[in-house]
Amino acid sequence: MAEVWNQYRESIAGGWRLISYHLVDTTGPQTRLLAKPHGDNPLGRVFISKQGWLAAHLARPHLMAPDPNRASMETASDEQAARIARGLSMYCGYMILYQDDHGGLYWQTRVEISTDPDKISGIQERKVTLTEEDGKSYMTLEPKQDFTTEDGTPARAVLKWEKFE
């Protein structure tokens, strides 16, 4: 495992907008789309500083839409607040970037703050793929560990981000 932050800093540092969030089946030779958990227009931002500080924010768009009948988070009922909070996923911390023995690019973030207390002090690890298309920079992230859906299907999250800053 070789640390490669300096080699990729200029490509990775900046602001990123989530453009797709797919869950794919990992059981066969072809990946098959299982779901789009955040719909066709996902809401997410990642900011990575040139020193490796990462802040990731994802929200389920249908829960974030303005609602004139909804109370503010400060005055919402516990049920209303829980519904909104379950649609949010945020964490931040310093990351390291490394290549594995096969040339794959990965990052590990030591979580300092998170909407999920169980993630604090833990590691969030992602496979990173950087691409350029039509003069735009893209980053595809996949958690290193797959998971199992409620129906028992092995799945992987694949999140594609477009650099905006």
pLDDT tens for each residue of 28-45? 778 889 999 999 999 999
Q: Residue 89 pLDDT more than 80?
A: yes
The percentage of the chain sitting over the pLDDT mark of 90, rounded to a whole number, equals 71
- Rounded distance, CA 3 to CA 72, Å? 44
Q: What is the pLDDT of residue 84?
A: 82
Domains of the chain by range and CATH?
2-65+79-163 (2.40.128)
- Rounded distance, CA 31 to CA 105, Å? 20
pLDDT tens for each residue of 99-130? 999 999 999 999 999 999 999 999 999 999 99
Q: What is the pLDDT of residue 7?
A: 96
> What is this structure's pTM?
0.90
Q: Residue 71 pLDDT more than 80?
A: no
Give 19-47 as a DSSP string.
Answer: EEEEEEE-SSSS-EEEE-TT-SS-EEEEE
The mean pLDDT value for 60-67 works out to 81
The mean pLDDT value for 43-65 works out to 94
